[in-house]
Amino acid sequence: MTEFIRKRTANAKNDILSGLTVALALVPEAVAFAFVAGVDPLVGLYAAFMIGIITAIFGGRPGMISGATGALAVVMVSLVAEGNAFGAEGENLGLYYLFATVILMGIIQMLAGVFKLGKFVRLIPHPVMMGFVNGLAIVIFLAQLKMFKDANGDWFTGSQMWIMLGLVLLTMGIMFFLPKLTKKLPEALIAILVVSAIAIFGDLDVASVKSFIIDGSGGESQGLKGGLPQFQTDIFSKVPFNWQTIRFIGPYALILAAIGLIESLMTLNLVDELTDTRGNANRECMAQGGANIITGFFGGMGGCAMIGQSLINIKGGGRGRLSGIVAAMALLIFVLFASGLIEQIPIAALVGVMFMVVIGTFAWSSFRILNKIPVTDVIVLIAVSALTVIYDLAVAVIAGVIISALVFSWENAKRIRARKRMREDGTKVYEIWGPLFFGSIIAFNEKFDAKNDPQHIEVDFVESRISDHSAIEAIFNLVNKYEAEGKSIKLKHLSEDCKILLYKSSPKFREVIVEDIDDPRYHLAENPEAFTKGLAEYKL
């Protein structure tokens, strides 16, 4: 028991300090995303708290931070606007439709976990991952530039701009040089405290968290002050449970669930690489889904993993579940008891932290490898980066995976080969090399000449595999074509799984497939263990 506790508290100090830093960075992010979605700041803060603590406890990746995110907020804008149109002016029905959508989104995400769909994140190629990281770094950077503008959208000028830039650079400087002096202090938290002290005690005219909230709400919000999240009983009375509602919120819930899972699982992969550990993708799907269901019932806007805050946590030394729990609980404490203090933090300090996150997030190595990797991978990397900035993460990743899959199929389609030879008895043998699937069917068919071939034909598949229905149909048509010419055709060296596919598709194949084979190559291909054993004996 002592050993169990010791292992889980070994990094407690780093987890707690890193969690506090993340909580400070979560405040303006959650508020900003709430404004983007067109809802009250507390809706974003409650989402950050509830999703953060549930995924920290039950998620599949310790150290990963979840909360309200911009990728989801941009989709919620039209949802809230259309929902408001269903009711009278001022009734604010859009907010309740948002809660209902978040609940359905959570259910879809939990189903993804139940059916173990999280494993499909492994199919995301590395160029897509690098493009995602670079694109997201650019998105985070561009989002911070908005902090250099006033409520009217005009850029700061004069001393206001210089003070803002000076505090941002000071924050970045502290975060860069402090680890070189000592690694025992969390650089992001120290930087925020130092810059906040300078701004407050120096009575500098700079934008603070409070001014950011008030300006973002058009002067309607009084700040962060709020109570505990309340169960939203009005959802059941204001949102009718009928087919029309499902048709309205269903597509939004599906899109939000997909974006949330893609961003969460890709962030999980990134944190895995940074920490050299392995998270559980399916468990993360379940946790994200459960968190969104609860968030929807308690008045939150929903969310997913946050790459910026996750990187702040990891770089601050946060590795365990405690860091995420501390971040979520600290955020709630800020809202309940310390809103006045948090509101005084200059936005410049938080912008400086996020700029350092951008520098740490961007895969600078991608510039070095551009001339060392295939051109198609370069295209995928750049396309995913651009699409992440222009559209959103889900579109970028899906497009990147599709491009990579098409390139892979095209390259494999070109690898089909047929070596032809004649036996002494006049039988023509076609030795097939390469994968036989939908992409290589045309090239496969071009290898044969049924009209001019001799009476007896053998097709040797010892170096080939039948991969899909298109391949089965191609072989079936090939057999029929030779038989229509009155010629004999036999299929040899098919693996067991290929024979099963062909036998299931048509009984005709039992007449043309040769079962009795004495070629040692075939048996080695069929039995990898025998091949390994034979290789070991050969070396001895």
Q: How many CA atoms are closer than 13 Å to the CA of 414, on its beta-carbon side?
A: 5
Radius of gyration of the chain (CA): 30
Domains with residue ranges and CATH for the chain: 10-364 (no CATH), 414-539 (3.30.750.24)
Residue 64 phi/psi, 5-degree rounding, is -85, 140
β-strand partners of 436: 466
> Residue 406: CB partners within 8 Å, gap ≥ 6?
none
Separation of alpha carbons 407 and 405, rounded Å: 5
Structure token pair of residue 394: 């889900």
CB burial of 175-208 (b: ≥16 within 10 Å; e: otherwise) equals beebeeeeeeebbbbbbbbbbbebbeeeebebbb
Separation of alpha carbons 95 and 57, rounded Å: 28
Pair type for strands 488-492 and 456-466: parallel
C-alpha 217: how far from chain center: 31
The residue type at 222? Q
Three-state secondary structure along 243-270? HHHHHHHHHHHHHHHHHHHHHHHHHHHH
DSSP state for residue 300 in the 8-state scheme? -
Per DSSP, the three-state class of 155 is strand
Per DSSP, the three-state class of 460 is strand
The predicted structure's pLDDT at residue 218: 60
How many helices, marked H, and strands, marked E, lie in the chain? Answer: 25, 6
The predicted structure's pLDDT at residue 540: 43
> Residue 189: CB partners within 8 Å, gap ≥ 6?
17, 18, 20, 21, 24, 316
Look at the block and give the residue holding tokens 């962060």: 224
CB burial of 253-266 (b: ≥16 within 10 Å; e: otherwise) equals bebbbbbbbbbbbb
What are the distances in angstroms from CA 183 to CA 14, 180, 315, 350, 393?
10, 7, 11, 21, 34
Separation of alpha carbons 45 and 334, rounded Å: 10
148, 156 Cβ separation under 8 angstroms: yes
Sign of the torsion formed by the C-alpha atoms of 527, 532, 533 and 538: positive
Separation of alpha carbons 535 and 367, rounded Å: 42
47, 303 Cβ separation under 8 angstroms: yes
Q: Nearest Cα to 416, choosing from 395, 439, 385? A: 439
485, 450 Cβ separation under 8 angstroms: yes
45, 331 Cβ separation under 8 angstroms: yes
What are the distances in angstroms from CA 348 to CA 35, 154, 164, 205, 213?
19, 17, 6, 11, 14
Taking every pair of Cα atoms in the chain, the longest distance, rounded to a whole number of angstroms, is: 100
The residue type at 162? W
523, 530 Cβ separation under 8 angstroms: yes
Structure token pair of residue 334: 């800020």
Q: Nearest Cα to 436, choosing from 480, 497, 376? A: 497
Beta strands in 218-324 (DSSP E): 304-305
> Residue 512: CB partners within 8 Å, gap ≥ 6?
479, 489, 490, 491
Structure token pair of residue 220: 């309607």
470, 502 Cβ separation under 8 angstroms: no
Separation of alpha carbons 79 and 158, rounded Å: 40
Q: Tens place of pLDDT for every residue, the chain, 540 residues?
A: 454 445 556 678 889 988 998 888 788 778 767 776 777 788 888 999 999 999 999 999 999 999 988 778 878 888 888 888 887 776 778 899 999 999 999 999 999 999 998 877 777 888 988 888 888 788 878 878 888 888 777 888 888 899 999 999 999 999 899 888 887 777 878 888 899 999 999 988 888 877 777 766 565 656 667 788 889 888 888 888 889 999 999 999 998 998 899 889 888 988 888 888 888 999 999 999 999 999 999 999 999 998 888 988 988 888 889 999 999 999 999 888 887 777 888 888 888 888 887 887 788 888 888 888 899 999 999 999 999 888 777 788 889 989 998 998 888 888 899 999 999 889 999 999 999 999 999 999 999 999 999 999 999 998 898 989 999 999 999 999 999 999 999 999 888 889 999 999 999 899 999 886 555 554 545 555 544 554 444 444
Structure token pair of residue 145: 């530039």
Q: How many CA atoms are closer than 13 Å to the CA of 47, on its beta-carbon side?
A: 38
The predicted structure's pLDDT at residue 219: 57
Structure token pair of residue 513: 């497939």
The predicted structure's pLDDT at residue 135: 86
Per DSSP, the three-state class of 397 is helix
Separation of alpha carbons 535 and 322, rounded Å: 50
pTM tops 0.85: no
Looking at 414-519, list the stretches that DSSP marks H as alpha helix, in order from N- to C-terminal side: 441-445, 469-484, 496-505, 509-512
